[in-house]
Structure 1
Amino acid sequence: MTNVERYNYAFDPEGDAWAARLLRRVPLDCTSILELGPGPGAMTRVLLARGHRVTVVENDPEALKVLRTLGAEVIEGNLDGTDWLDAIAGRRFDAVLACDLLEHLRNPEDLLRRLGAFLNPMGRLVISVPNIAYAGVVAAMRHGIFDYSEKGQLDSTHIRFFTRRSIEKTLLEGSWSPRAWEANRVPVEHSEFAWYWSALSGDLRQALLAGWQDFDVYQWMVVVTPTVDVSAWEVRDLRNAAEMLQSDFQALTVLHQTERASLLEHQKAFSEAKDIIGRLQSEIRELRAENDVVRSQKSAIEADLALRLREQEAHAASFLQRLRRLWSRG
């Protein structure tokens, strides 16, 4: 598998793929972007399609052939060295991308120290790195295995390894201030380490997971800004927070007005329903009263009929007796 094949992939820019989530950290109003180590340009294509002006730095010959067909400014250079710096000397960018790059460098600290000079004021650096503290790696090591592969967490071209704490320490020492973190969580059962994880006993898996919230973080993403811009960023963050609160307040106001109107409609409907129920209950009481009168009248008629029937039966019996006496005399 060539480097181009290894790192060439397609993704939905509006989806939940890790690359799409990384690119959402690049504001649409960023005019100029410096992308470091883009490979064959999976993310470069999306950036160009969005209208950004993109400069890429890459040293893989096969990837360079592909990149030169995309329309980006292409600089051939080894990011572990300085041969590419002259090509962008004196220039500044709105955003710099170093995604899945630092783990391939022998001296990522040197690169990070240099990048601040290429950012515009209020610019940002977006970084992503594999998390060597991923539970799958721990499970493999529990079996005594730390084997490199063509791609993934233990890609054979990875020569530096990071946890969240170690990349944060590296950034702070390079005068970068983290502004936002995001985790790419991958269930261990769906990773290349699934077998090693399943081979552990249930008790051991539970013991490993106890109190370990980030066990399934496959990669870390962090947006950083130069430490010298911290105050400006804090003001910007406060302004953005205030705008978001204002927007939320307006949305809640609209929602309140809508719900109040709906409540009034419900109250009106409830009042009307209550009136209807009251009328029906009154009609039911009247019908019950009429029914009671009818029953009373029925009982009186039945009693009167029974009395007349008894009187008629008695009269008939008396008439029969007189007939019998007359018959016996005759």
Structure 2
Amino acid sequence: MKYYGFVRQEIAPMLPDHAPRVLEVGCGNGATLAWLKATGRCQETVGLEYSHDASEIARTQLDQVIEGDAEQFELQTLGKFDLILCLDVLEHLRDPWQMLRKLKQQLNPQGQIIISVPNIRHHSIVLPLLFRGQWQYQTAGILDQTHLRFFTQETAQDLLEQAGFVVNQCAGHGQQWATSRFWRWLGKLNLAKPICSVQFILNGKT
């Protein structure tokens, strides 16, 4: 359950000063929403989560938790939100474009959405594919075997724009996780970020 329990503090630079009502699609254990509330960034937290075990833990931390398939849930029953989070969840969905269009309808006029998606253009994926013809699914990470969709920076931005959002910010993250000193150094260069960022985090507005 560790995979479901991370606090995603790397989204902090993209957060609004205060968002009274927040929804997280794929909230896991609820750690990120609980952090937002504990730090005064929101007042009410609502989570959608597919995993039963994670949902049970989230219920001890959040104001409301809905367990089930987010793509099948009637989102309008939850009302409007000031901030919606989709952190490493859209790549697991059958139709993330439709999901985002539905979520846009649940945002207040000045509401924002923050998404994160893995970067399929990362060097750890591109180089083995290019030089050795390898594409090996894994239990976690960029090639998680449960991923149905794959994105680069450009297609992640397109994903939001096709749903009717204006992309306000886009930032690469995870360059510092590289085990090699060379890749950590290279990841600091703007030109290399498209192949050194493990994921991209985007902020969209209506």
TM-score, with structure 2 as normaliser: 0.86
Question: Could you report, residue by residue, the CA deviation over 1:163-213 in whole angstroms, capped at 9, with x for unpaired residues?
Answer: 01112222222111101111104257428xx9xx9xxxxxxxx9xx9x655
Q: Which has the higher strand share?
A: 2
Q: Which residue pairs with 2:54 in the alignment?
A: 63
User: Could you tell me how far 1:45 is from its partner in structure 2?
Assistant: 2.0
Structure with bigger gyration radius: 1
Q: Which residue pairs with 1:22 in the alignment?
A: 11
In 1, Cα distance between the equivalents of 2:24 and 2:5?
15
Tell me, yes or no, if the aligned pair for 2:122 and 2:196 is still in contact at 8 Å. Answer: yes
Distance 1:78 1:213, change over 3 A: closer
Two-structure CA RMSD over aligned residues (Å)? 2.3
Tell me, yes or no, if the aligned pair for 2:46 and 2:62 is still in contact at 8 Å. Answer: no
**For structure 1, which segment, 31-40 or 213-222, has the greater mean C-alpha deviation from structure 2 after superposition?**
213-222
TM-score, with structure 1 as normaliser: 0.55
Asked if residue 183 in structure 1 is aligned to residue 172 in structure 2, the reply is yes
Q: Which residue pairs with 1:202 in the alignment?
A: none
Distance 1:61 1:188, change over 3 A: closer
In 1, Cα distance between the equivalents of 2:35 and 2:13?
11
Which of 129, 146, 157 is the matching residue for 2:117? 129
Q: Which residue pairs with 1:144 in the alignment?
A: 133
Asked if residue 164 in structure 1 is aligned to residue 144 in structure 2, the reply is no
In 2, Cα distance between the equivalents of 1:187 and 1:65?
33
In 2, Cα distance between the equivalents of 1:92 and 1:150?
35
Tell me, yes or no, if the aligned pair for 1:126 and 1:222 is still in contact at 8 Å. Answer: yes
Q: Which has the higher helix share?
A: 1
User: Runs of at least 4 residues of structure 1 off by over 3 A?
Assistant: none
Letter in 1 for 2:77: A
Higher RCO (C-alpha under 8 Å, 6+ residues apart)? 2
Structure 1 portions without partners, runs of 5+: 12-18, 198-205, 227-330
Letter in 2 for 1:113: R
User: Could you tell me how far 1:86 is from its partner in structure 2?
Assistant: 4.7
- Sequence identity, in percent? 30
Structure 2 portions without partners, runs of 5+: none
Which of 84, 87, 92 is the matching residue for 2:80? 92
